[in-house]
A = this chain, B = another copy of it.
Amino acid sequence: MPPGQDLLRVALAQINPTVGDIDGNARKIADRIAEARDRSAALVVFPELALSGYPPEDLLLKTSFLERAAAALEELAAQTRGIVALVGFPQRAEDVYNAAAVLADGEVAGVYRKMYLPNYGVFDEQRYFQSGAEAGIFELNGIPIGITVCEDIWEPGPPAMTEALAGAQMIVNLSASPYRIGYGHGRERMLVQRAVDNLAAVVFVNTVGGQDELVFDGHSLAVDQDGRVLARCPQFEESLTLCTIDPREVGSARLRDTRHRANVRRQRRAAPVAEPPAVHLASLEVEGGGKTVGGATAELLGPEAEVYTALRTGLRDYVDKNGFEHVLLALSGGIDSALVAMIAVDALGPERVTCVSMPSPYSSAGTQADARAIAENLGVAFREIPIAEAMESYAEMLSDAFAGREPDIAEENIQARIRGNVVMALSNKFGWLVLATGNKSELSVGYATLYGDMAGGFAVIKDVFKGWVYRLVRWRNEQEGRELVPVSVLERPPSAELRHEQRDDDSLPPYEILDAILAGYVEEDLDAVELVRRGLPADDVERAIGMVDRAEYKRRQAPPGIKISTKAFGRDRRLPITNRFEARAEAQQRRLRALR
């Protein structure tokens, strides 16, 4: 560390890009660069693939897309003066890289290429990218700074370790790390530990906002070499958060720390040819600096607020980024559609939401009254369209074909699909987006009608178990200080109301048990034996697992919705429809019997 080193003022540019909108994202990046310079930052850091949005998926197979990104990066570089910007972009070279550009003095001063390419869960990065081969350091005002991209920093070793041992006093990480419940705490813990292990400041900048099934929670961080959180951006909101870091402190800590010195020696022995072994990208000088160490530190949201905000953000961005003015949903008077209506109003405002109630002869007076009350409490447009006559016309159309058959699930599904047709007709007529209202518990076991209540462009709570649905409605009511959703909705036994006196627990285990089974089977890939060992009833386990397996074909045609769990249906869980593997098969049955 050179003597007399100044404080370094860093701007964490937690932005919400739109996938594919390279021009719009570039404008947003340019604005933040200007703002950061105005606020005396020497360095401004953007998220992973900020220029293209994340994930661009198969847009990365289009030459024209990669060319446009390259041109936009050059234009951005030309505008970057008096500050250094780190911008994530897809780099087309002899292959394609998930890269971070160092922009300074009107040029691209260096490029770091992501080394670890995740290819699990929702990630398919090995489909698109070549992995980078080398760690990367640039010097800013004499301070060596190491670059990493997302997955790179989840590894305790290289490239962050390599960079730190080669002298980097700060490790920067550009991320697009998708939200799931409670994940932010573990991520913050990991980043704090990386800072401590590397005796370096860590600056982590995550993207924010919704992209199809994913929502990014932001929660960008600056941490010092002792693991103290110096700055934290809010979750789920765009933010340009400034933080001042004292690189002298890193230097002092390293003078005191014998472990670090020994590790440096080990690294030099391992890679004796290059000292430092990391690639030096550039040596840059700019004005800018802070006076006191630290920055603004947002509070983390509680669990219900966090999940609710994730859903609100994911819905808002799906609607706005796809250019919809208005949304529509079927409000049954049940708890699921009540929650979706609440989220829609909080995301878009009541004037952009229409609710429609479509009572049949099986709809109770109670649920109808509740539907009206919810719409009124939320201040949304509300329309009632009874479907009894349409039901009769189907009964007549099908009377020959169904002659001699008892009413069964076919008639129940006809009702649900009449409602699906009505909401889609309103959608087509007025250009509104239809929100589907099914929850994860139902979707797991197939307790939903394809093209009926599953119809819609976006399924807001498809990754929310029933237990969480109640929790979120109760929490939101409490926040409001009044019953936005009447307590009768919370207390009535759940029912699809597709026949007289129907109740969900006629067909399904109680939701407390069902949710626990599903969490184990769907999210953790456990089998029946493992679930029973957790104390779940064997009969319920077997029945629920069978239902999950048989409903795969329905889920394949479900609308996209927001991932909030470890494993959401959709790109996260990829099971064949044609699949004769049964977690209930012979050998399993024997083991299960032994457990009873």
Q: Are A410 and B425 in contact (CB under 8 A)?
A: yes
Q: Are B383 and A387 in contact (CB under 8 A)?
A: no
A557 partner residues in chain B, CB cutoff 8 A:
557-559
A298 partner residues in chain B, CB cutoff 8 A:
none
Q: Complex Cα distance A573/B18, Å? A: 20
Q: Complex Cα distance A424/B455, Å? A: 14
Q: Complex Cα distance A558/B292, Å? A: 57
Q: Are A24 and B580 in contact (CB under 8 A)?
A: yes
Q: Are A581 and B22 in contact (CB under 8 A)?
A: yes
Q: Complex Cα distance A422/B399, Å? A: 12
Q: Are B397 and A413 in contact (CB under 8 A)?
A: no
Task: List, sorted by A's number, 15 A–B pairs whose CB atoms are closer than 8 Å.
Answer: A19-B581, A56-B576, A57-B575, A57-B576, A58-B525, A59-B576, A120-B127, A321-B578, A383-B400, A387-B397, A401-B426, A410-B428, A410-B429, A421-B421, A451-B451
Q: Are A398 and B424 in contact (CB under 8 A)?
A: no
Q: Are B429 and A451 in contact (CB under 8 A)?
A: no
Q: Are B394 and A425 in contact (CB under 8 A)?
A: yes
Contact with B along A178-219 (1 / 0, CB 8 A): 000000000000000000000000000000001110000000
Contact with B along A87-120 (1 / 0, CB 8 A): 0000000000000000000000000000000011
Q: Are A390 and B394 in contact (CB under 8 A)?
A: yes
| Nearest CB in chain B to that of A321: its residue | B578
In the assembled complex, A5 has its CB within 8 A of some CB on chain B: no
Q: In the complex, which of the residues B383, B390, B411 contacts A390, with contact meaning CB atoms closer than 8 Å?
A: B390
In the assembled complex, A586 has its CB within 8 A of some CB on chain B: yes
A585 partner residues in chain B, CB cutoff 8 A:
23, 68
A428 partner residues in chain B, CB cutoff 8 A:
408-410, 413
Contact with B along A384-421 (1 / 0, CB 8 A): 01110110111011101110010011110110011011
Q: Are B402 and A396 in contact (CB under 8 A)?
A: no
Q: Return A26 CB to nearest CB of chain B, in Å.
A: 12
Restricting to A54-104, which residues have a CB under 8 Å from any CB of B?
55-59, 61-65, 68, 71
In the assembled complex, A587 has its CB within 8 A of some CB on chain B: yes
In the assembled complex, A536 has its CB within 8 A of some CB on chain B: no
In the assembled complex, A20 has its CB within 8 A of some CB on chain B: yes
A590 partner residues in chain B, CB cutoff 8 A:
none
Q: Complex Cα distance A576/B58, Å? A: 8
Knowing A394-B421, A429-B408, A525-B61 are in contact, say whether A560-B574 is a contact too (CB < 8 A): no
| Nearest CB in chain B to that of A412: its residue | B428
A21 partner residues in chain B, CB cutoff 8 A:
580-581
Q: Are A62 and B525 in contact (CB under 8 A)?
A: yes
Q: Complex Cα distance A525/B59, Å? A: 9
Q: Complex Cα distance A20/B418, Å? A: 36
A333 partner residues in chain B, CB cutoff 8 A:
none
Q: Return A16 CB to nearest CB of chain B, in Å.
A: 12
In the assembled complex, A588 has its CB within 8 A of some CB on chain B: yes
In the assembled complex, A516 has its CB within 8 A of some CB on chain B: no
Restricting to A17-72, which residues have a CB under 8 Å from any CB of B?
18-24, 55-59, 61-65, 68, 71
Q: Return A306 CB to nearest CB of chain B, in Å.
A: 22
Interface size class on chain A is: 35 or more
Q: Are A385 and B398 in contact (CB under 8 A)?
A: yes
In the assembled complex, A317 has its CB within 8 A of some CB on chain B: yes
Restricting to A479-513, which residues have a CB under 8 Å from any CB of B?
none
Contact with B along A550-573 (1 / 0, CB 8 A): 000100111110000000000001
In the assembled complex, A318 has its CB within 8 A of some CB on chain B: yes
Q: Complex Cα distance A149/B422, Å? A: 52
| Nearest CB in chain B to that of A411: its residue | B425
Q: In the complex, which of the residues B321, B451, B583 contacts A64, with contact meaning CB atoms closer than 8 Å?
A: B583
Q: Complex Cα distance A126/B118, Å? A: 10
Knowing A421-B421, A421-B451, A553-B457 are in contact, say whether A212-B397 is a contact too (CB < 8 A): no
A400 partner residues in chain B, CB cutoff 8 A:
383, 385
| Nearest CB in chain B to that of A68: its residue | B587
Q: Are A577 and B322 in contact (CB under 8 A)?
A: yes
A20 partner residues in chain B, CB cutoff 8 A:
576, 579-582
A424 partner residues in chain B, CB cutoff 8 A:
413, 417, 450-451
Which residue of A56, A127, A560 has the most chain B CB atoms within 10 A of its CB atom? A127
A59 partner residues in chain B, CB cutoff 8 A:
575-576, 579, 581
Q: In the complex, which of the residues B119, B322, B455 contacts A127, with contact meaning CB atoms closer than 8 Å?
A: B119
Q: Return A472 CB to nearest CB of chain B, in Å.
A: 24
A408 partner residues in chain B, CB cutoff 8 A:
428-429
In the assembled complex, A527 has its CB within 8 A of some CB on chain B: yes
Q: Are B397 and A318 in contact (CB under 8 A)?
A: no
A275 partner residues in chain B, CB cutoff 8 A:
none
Q: Are A389 and B397 in contact (CB under 8 A)?
A: yes
| Nearest CB in chain B to that of A456: its residue | B557
